[in-house]
Amino acid sequence: MPIKQRVLKNNFGHNSFRELQEEGVDAILSGRDLLMILPTGGGKSLVFQLPTLMMDGVTVVISPLIALMQDQVAALKAQQISAEMLSSAQSFDEVDVIIESLHRGEVKFLYLSPERLNNGATLQLLHALNINFFVIDEAHCISQWGHEFRDDYRALGNLKEHFPDKTIAAFTATSTDNVTEDIMRELRLESPLLLKGKVFRKNIFISAQRRVSNGHAQLKNFLARHTDESGIIYVSSRKKTEELSAFLNQNGYKALPYHAGLPQHVREQNFKIFVNDNVNIMVATIAFGMGIDKSDIRFVVHMSLPKSQENYYQEIGRAGRDGEDSEVLLLFNAGDIVLHKRFLNDITNEEYKAHLDTKIDKIYKYATSEVCFHQQLAEYFDDTLDPCTDRCDNCLSSDDKRQDITKEAQMLLSTIYKTNQGFGKNYIIDVLRGSKEQKILANGADKLSVYGIGLNLSKKEWFVIVERLLELKIITLGEFSILELTNDAIAILKSLQTVDIKQSRLAINVKEKKVKQAQEFAYDETLFETLRFKRSELASELGVPAYIIFSDKTLKHLANDKPFDKASMLEVNGVGEKKYEQYGEDFLEIINNGA
């Protein structure tokens, strides 16, 4: 057996490489620069961890967040691999101890933030070490066209100047062609191997719904399909994390909030409680961001529109990292886009501001479109994909009957025109429905020919029609959310063009979607739950996240295969020599007693 295959099995427990992993490993082993773009859960960390175990010296990993570095160092140490980090969160004494162990050659992985790397003392330290190669994690942060640009990442371009003979391996989950070119140029990679995985995550079912009120009723309907499963719910503000977390706990769910305003020790405590399966749901802002390695997250919900498709894709990628079926839900309305654009007013760089403005338009178009969600994501990241057919809401409802709403569109457009394109959707709909609101009467809108002509539809149905006309760009949102007509509106008003909509979108009651939950193999569910309980006990004793011991997928294989000794247990995918030495006998005892 080749050395790399033996390391793959013994240290990582895998019987074979995933897509593109072996090519990435070979590039690093041969000393070639590498840029790897692989979706979350695709196994990027193995690509640089495995070569390190085959090479002399220390691998220096540049990572953007202290919490992310702490998590990855803890995961490596749990696998009995020597790893350390240097950060501002450590005392001088702690740093001195780590530096001494580095000089003695006792550390295989050294994690640094880009800010720390740019420190003169750190560069001096690195020049004194036997470095095998550098890793740039979350490499999209170096590009101003990416969604998480950071100034300190720009200085990483100097690595080639300071260490011209060292290989650089850069990794990210999200990168358009423009961002990819920017990463390679800024890092000064020399004839790099570019490995780009497919964007399509076939184990994720995607759905999007127009948010009704605060979305809580829709959320409860969704969560009914995910009882006792781990999930993340993203909200737009710190206040909403607290409110929604309280709401969920009052309704029988176990949830915790996570946002940047919480004290650091509370954030760390909540994170540990979540990854150790002591609560099912984390309600979070985007502060709960990069590097969430919990593999058994079964769902991700966005309670409002994300800032971009990059953010969205990275966040939904936290579901189903173990390859098991998972579901994501996006709740949105037109107000979300206005809120996002309001934050752009503080940006002085007009080119960058226009760039972000376009990203907001594109994520709104994504949410409201009737095209396959997976296909839209692939196209955004310069990939190609046929419609998924059964892994998103749009494809499952592609046979929905269509309803002609040209007449209703003409009513709404006429009302916008006759009120001089000076009001938002609530006012326009109130005029259509003949409201007696004081503002309507004070403006004399009750004297207009369009007043009360839309009583045949409910207010919610009119909101859906407004959304449809917005996505078709027949109307646009101006300043202060005022509805304005586009050139296409003229063609509608003159009956030169028609408008239709999926009939289901006008059925306002939230329907329960039946998600395909294909089970790859049968397994003993009682034994699986017993193994999960044992995993939780061990995790608590060792102070590590449960997934570090074995993933849910590995436990299912154990509950299916029911190995009876060391040799048969090592045949199970996810179990290697290291894992067996640490935990194997504990799980074998349970399997043999229960078999």
What single string gives the DSSP state of each residue in 380-430?
HTT------SSSBHHHHTTTPPEEE-HHHHHHHHHHHHHTTT---HHHHHH
Specify whether 337 is located in the same domain as 456: no
> pLDDT band at 295, cuts 50/70/90?
confident
Give every CB contact of residue 479 below 8 A, 6+ residues apart in sequence. none
pLDDT of residue 509: 41
Long-range CB contacts for residues 346-355, cutoff 8 Å, separation at least 24 = 352/144, 355/145
pLDDT classification of 112: cutoffs 50, 70, 90: very high
Q: Are residues 153 and 214 in the same domain?
A: no
Quote the pLDDT of residue 594.
67
Q: Is residue 354's pLDDT more than 90?
A: no
Q: Is the pLDDT confidence value at 2 over 90?
A: no
Q: What percent of the chain has pLDDT over 70?
A: 94
Same-domain pairing of 362 and 411: no
174, 210: one domain: no
Burial of 141 (0-12, 13-18, 19+ CB in 10 A): buried
Q: Is 514 among the domain residues?
A: no
pLDDT of residue 396: 85
Would you say 12 and 37 are in contact if contact means Cβ atoms under 8 Å apart? no
Q: Within this chain, do residues 161 and 19 fall inside the same structural domain, yes or no?
A: yes
Q: Stretch 421-440: mean pLDDT, rounded?
A: 94
Residues 406 and 499 sit within 8 Å (Cβ to Cβ): yes
Q: Is the pLDDT of residue 151 over 50?
A: yes
pLDDT score at 390: 92
**Beta bridge mates, 402:** 502
Same domain, 186 and 56: yes
Domain presence at residue 518? no
Q: What is the mean pLDDT of residues 303-313?
A: 93
**Same domain for 188 and 285?**
no
Identify which of 326, 318, 21, 26 has the alpha carbon closest to the alpha carbon of residue 197.
Answer: 21
State residue 519's pLDDT score.
45
Judge if 436 and 345 occupy the same domain: no
CATH number at residue 81: 3.40.50.300
Q: Which of 480, 498, 516 is the last residue of a domain?
A: 498
Q: Judging by beta carbons within 10 Å of its beta carbon (0-12, 13-18, 19+), is residue 425 exposed, middle or buried?
A: buried
Tell me what pLDDT residue 239 has: 92
What's the rounded mean pLDDT across residues 43-70? 90
The pLDDT of residue 553 is above 90: no
Q: Is residue 503 part of a domain?
A: no
Pair (342, 269) in one structural domain: yes
- Cα 270–chain centre separation: 19
Distances (CA, A) of 242 to 231, 258, 259, 275, 290: 16, 8, 9, 19, 21
Q: List Cα–Cα distances, 222 to 18, 206, 213, 400, 512, in angstroms.
A: 32, 12, 16, 21, 8
Residue 259 falls inside a structural domain: yes
Instruction: Note whether residue 76 is domain-resident.
Output: yes
> In this structure, is residue 520 part of a structural domain?
no
Which pLDDT score is estimated for 399?
Answer: 56
Does the structure show a pLDDT above 60 at 19?
yes
- State how many domains the chain has: 4
Residue 481's pLDDT band, with cuts at 50, 70 and 90, is confident
Last residue of a domain, one of 344, 375, 396: 396
Mean pLDDT to the nearest integer, 384-412? 88
Confidence of residue 512 (pLDDT cuts 50, 70, 90): very low
Residue 400 has pLDDT above 70, yes or no: no
pLDDT class for 135, splitting at 50, 70, 90? very high
Structural domain contains residue 485: yes
Same domain, 258 and 341: yes
User: 63-77, 113-127, 377-391 — which is least confidently predicted?
Assistant: 63-77
Is the pLDDT score of 511 beyond 70? no
80 falls within a domain: yes
pTM: 0.69
Based on the fold, state whether residues 487 and 536 are members of the same structural domain. Answer: no
SS (H, E, C) 131-177: EEEEEECCHHHHCCCCCCCCHHHHHHHHHHHHCCCCEEEEEECCCCH
Confidence class of residue 441 from pLDDT cuts 50, 70 and 90? very high
Cβ contacts of residue 405 below 8 Å, gap of 6+?
465, 468, 499, 500, 501
* Full residue range of the structural domain in which residue 585 is found: 525-594
The last residue of a domain, from among 463, 498, 533: 498
CA distance 173 to 211: 28
Could you tell me the sign of the dihedral formed by the alpha carbons of 169, 170, 172, 174, in that order? negative
Shared domain check, 130 and 43: yes
Average pLDDT value for the chain: 88
Phi and psi angles of residue 222, each rounded to the nearest 5 degrees, phi first: -70, -45
Average pLDDT over residues 412-441: 95
